[in-house]
Structure 1
Amino acid sequence: MRAHAYAEHHKYPDIGCEVAPLCLECPLEVCVHSDEGRYKAWERRDAQMRELSAAGVTNDELAAAAGLGPRSIQRILA
């Protein structure tokens, strides 16, 4: 196999995602891009949180219903 075909010789840009500005600073154990199903579930949950917030549900109520902390709700709604 050619040496340049190995992943360790490839330069990957560290552009981060919505969870962290840089991959190397991410607090998640599994990258959201590695588990497409989990990422899509988070997108659906976040969209639902935004809809409920627009309908007048408070951040504390959203946090309790989703099993999240108030700061997580603030990040979702930001």
Structure 2
Amino acid sequence: MIKETKVEPVSNVDFDISVGVEVPRQKIHLHRLPSKIVKIVPAYEGYEYFVLADGRIVIVDPNTYKIVLVLI
């Protein structure tokens, strides 16, 4: 579902991709999670994400900019 959105992958990541790590606000452009995902996991309403060049999807809490989930 996320791959259908055609978000440009991020390739120049110079921070750890792990749950709890804060994403640098100036370096990464976040995208709102598709409504199809929120319907499946309502707890992620309002969360945002970005895609890494290797295909991993990183879900971020936009209030804290902390990573909440990394999907492989």
Above 0.5 in TM-score? no
Q: Higher strand proportion, which one?
A: 2
Q: TM-score when scaled to structure 2?
A: 0.23
Q: Higher helix proportion, which one?
A: 1
Q: Which has the higher contact order (CA 8 A, sep 6+)?
A: 2
Q: TM-score when scaled to structure 1?
A: 0.22
